[in-house]
Amino acid sequence: MSNALEVSGLRKEFGGLVAVREVSFSVGEGEFVGLIGPNGCGKSTTFNCISGLLEQTSGRIEIFGEDASELRPDQIQNLGMTRTFQHTNLWREMTVIENLLVPPRGQFGSSIRELARSLLFPANQAEAGRLSMAYDVLDQLEVPHMAHNMTSELSGGQSKLVDIGRSMMGEPRLLLLDEPVAGVAGPLAMKIFNNLRKLVDETGITVLIIEHNMDFILRQGVDRIIVMNEGGVLMEGTPDEVRNNRAVIEAYLGAAGESGGGEE
């Protein structure tokens, strides 16, 4: 199995604070992997470095075998990677389907792939293609009935779903999701994970997902879990291996008071 993502010796300092210290891990193509760890252990910062939003202090990042360490976010997106953010940022005065049709606010510009597509196809044909893709994405997420709802009327959980849908519109080969079910009610959160599992199995996409709640992710069918603690990787393993690892249990017990799992 070749790697979709390879992170080697990643370090990120903010002034005197070391947020990420020599983190190394890889995610194989077609894998569904969880990234977990207590509050403030460096999960989002790791994503921010991988996606080019932050320049790492040191370390190397490879995406599908290409050196992405010094690339800009749009260049990284062109390698086939898309990410979501911990705080969803939808266009509130638009419908769900309209949200899927515009590029995410404050994220990436339109990709070279989209530019090429618009040059190859007449505008109306390209638009019709995107519209049908948007409906397909809502079908995949099992929420086609939400297409014409105003985004401002959605619950927090439904907004998270639309955010995932929007990230799928770029047809990523590697999807990084930052706490996509934080604050989402249990049944819907499980449905989101089920659908992601199905997506991985059916399309061969690679998914790396940050989740705060360890008890929850242990039961969601991910292939592997990477556990971070205090800026480093504590361990990696199958859900069973993680469940039985003493260091993990201790890290989580130590952080029990702050691991509420709600949306911040």
Residues binding ligand ATP (CB under 6 A): 14, 17, 19, 37, 39-45, 86, 212
Of residues 62 and 263, the one with the C-beta less far from ligand ATP: 263
Of residues 80 and 231, the one with the C-beta less far from ligand ATP: 231
Tell me how far apart the terminal alpha carbons of the chain are, to the nearest angstrom: 36
Which residue sits closest to Mg ion, CB atoms considered? 44
| CA 35 centroid distance within chain | 10
Of residues 43 and 83, the one with the C-beta less far from Mg ion: 43
* Contacts to Mg ion from residues 33-52, by CB under 5 A: 43-44
Q: How far is the CB of 217 from ligand ATP (least distance, A)?
A: 13
Of residues 43 and 224, the one with the C-beta less far from Mg ion: 43
Hey, what are 241's tokens? Answer: 């291996």
Give the phi and the psi of residue 6 in degrees, each rounded to 5: -135, 120
Q: How far is the CB of 85 from Mg ion (least distance, A)?
A: 9
Hey, what are 184's tokens? Answer: 């989402």
Residue with tokens 């069918």: 221
Q: How far is the CB of 150 from ligand ATP (least distance, A)?
A: 29
Position 216: which residue type? F
Query: What character string, x for contact with Mg ion (CB under 5 A) and - otherwise, covers 65-104?
Result: ---------------------x------------------
Answer with the entry of ligand ATP, Mg ion, none that 217 interacts with (C-beta below 5 to 8 A by kind).
none
Of residues 154 and 227, the one with the C-beta less far from ligand ATP: 227
Hey, what are 235's tokens? Answer: 């361990």
Contact residues for Mg ion, defined by CB under 5 A: 43-44, 86
